[in-house]
Amino acid sequence: MSKRPLPDDLSVETLSIRAGQLPTDEQSHSEPMFLTSSFVYESAAQAAARFSGEEEGNIYSRFTNPTVRAFEQRLAALEGGERAVAFSSGMAAIVATFFSLLKPGDHIVSSRSVFGTTNVLYDKYLSKFGVDTTMVDISDLDAWRSAITRNTKILFLETPSNPVAEVGDIAALAKLAHDNNALLVVDNCFCTPALQLPLELGADLVVHSATKYLDGQGRCLGGAVVGRDPEISEIFGFLRTAGATMSPFNAWVFLKGLETLSLRMFAHSAQAAELARWLETQPGIERVFYCGLPSHPQHEVAKKQQKAFGAVMSFRVIDSDGNADRQAAWRFIDATRIMSITANLGDTKTTITHPATTTHGRVPAEQKVLSGVTENLIRIAVGLEGLEDLRKDLARGVQALGHNIKD
Ligand SMILES: *Cc1c(COP(=O)(O)O)cnc(C)c1O
């Protein structure tokens, strides 16, 4: 890669390809992959200088690896943050954020519809260390406000949420957080920086599961936190200690994935919008949840803070005998031939899931209802196959419910 410095003010498209330069003497054009656990020094004195921090440079790949660093720099540039820290998974990034910034007695206010495992983190682990969480409706600003206590240190949300695509107003929540000396943390997994820039809207930290759209082809697990100091230094310190490190191989895959990020996100969004509009007109589809639809309750907020509406949508089904239950949902899913029946998302391959018995299977019943996860709900994450083929695949589902397709 070139050692010439990049100009300022580059677009997301250019940054996703060019940011995170990794100069080497071999002049490799593609980013080199440093598959090494440790680094060597010219002398004992240099080793000492590296370890004391007097001299900058690589030490050990648990916390300093050039390929991982290039991924961090590229993602930080894309999100408009000062610095990013990469992790072995999205959950590792979320755990590190909470454990490095909170202490016993601190309080989190979180939107109710978060990734299922984030819920488990609140209920089972953070609570054990004396950190309590209050869950609120993502779109109800008054609920956020009244949940805040003297001990609230973090407001956390995922927008649009999984699986019913609820949207939180990032700018309004950032103001609310700052008026109360708290930080706003946004899980930007579903939009990515190609579609939404939470830091620009006032958020303090962005967390990612790189496993999803940053990779984009379902190959590797990874995660990251983006923001500024002093928070990022704290989180980096936690990584060095906890060791939930991103592998250099995965970082290299993510660097390659990022290069097509904007192209993919707009293509995913365009296909999803078409299918959402079509599903809304079909019999047996009780309701479609997609923030790109004018019928979506937070469509205006989504339009204000996102460049497009993403690939994830869900819908409730009802069969021709009037059953709106698990059997109807499973029949729909089992009738598809192209879509992958899997809980993952963020892939070129379209995925179809029954949230109530998979991603949200461990969520308590009452919370499931509040999150909109009914037995007849199906989630799809629209991939990049041909649009007509996907439409026909969904038509197979509608027909399996005993309905005739409407043209
Ligand atoms: C998948 C996901 C996570 C967790 O990421 P992993 O890489 O699976 O650990 C967190 N948040 C959201 C929104 C996700 O979709």
Nearest of 67, 8, 54, 61 to residue 39 by alpha carbon: 61
270 with 361, same domain: the answer is yes
Could you tell me if 151 and 244 lie in one domain?
A: yes
Which residue has its alpha carbon closest to ligand 1 atom 8? 90
Domain housing 218 = 12-258
Are residues 53 and 182 located together in one domain of the fold? yes
pLDDT over threshold 80, residue 161? yes
The residue whose CB lies within 8 Å of the most ligand 1 atoms, and thus the one to mutate among 212, 247, 358, 379, is 212
Residues in a beta bridge with 185: 156, 205
Using CB distances shorter than 6 Å, the residues near ligand 1 are: 89-91, 115, 158, 162, 187, 189, 209, 211-212, 221, 223
Position 256 pLDDT exceeds 90? yes
- Per-residue pLDDT, averaged over 205-223, amounts to 97
Is 162 contained in some domain?
yes
Enter the pTM of the model. 0.95
DSSP secondary structure string for all residues of 202-233: T-SEEEEETTTTTT-BS----EEEEE-TTHHH
CA distance 268 to 348: 8
- On whether residue 2 sits in a domain, the answer given is no
Residue 1, pLDDT > 70, answer no
Does 246 fall in a domain?
yes
Residues 244, 273, single domain; the answer is no
Which of 201, 228, 258 lies at the terminal end of a domain, its last residue?
A: 258
* Co-location of 396 and 367 in the same domain: yes
Query: Mutation test of ligand 1: which of 211, 225, 359 has the most ligand atoms closer than 8 Å to its C-beta?
Result: 211
Q: Are residues 188 and 207 in the same domain?
A: yes
Please report whether residue 7 resides in a domain: no
Q: What is the pLDDT of residues 172-200, one digit of tens each?
A: 999 999 999 999 999 999 999 999 999 99
From 216, 241, 258, the end of a domain falls on 258
Q: How many domains does the chain have?
A: 2
364 pLDDT tier (thresholds 50, 70, 90):
confident
For 289-313, what is each residue's pLDDT tens digit?
Answer: 999 999 999 999 999 999 999 999 9
Using CA positions, which residue lies closest to atom 7 of ligand 1? 90
Distance 257 CA to ligand 1 centre (A): 17
In a shared domain, residues 324 and 205: no
Query: What CATH number is given to the structural domain containing 381?
Result: 3.90.1150.10
253 in the same domain as 281? no
| CATH code for the domain of 73 | 3.40.640.10
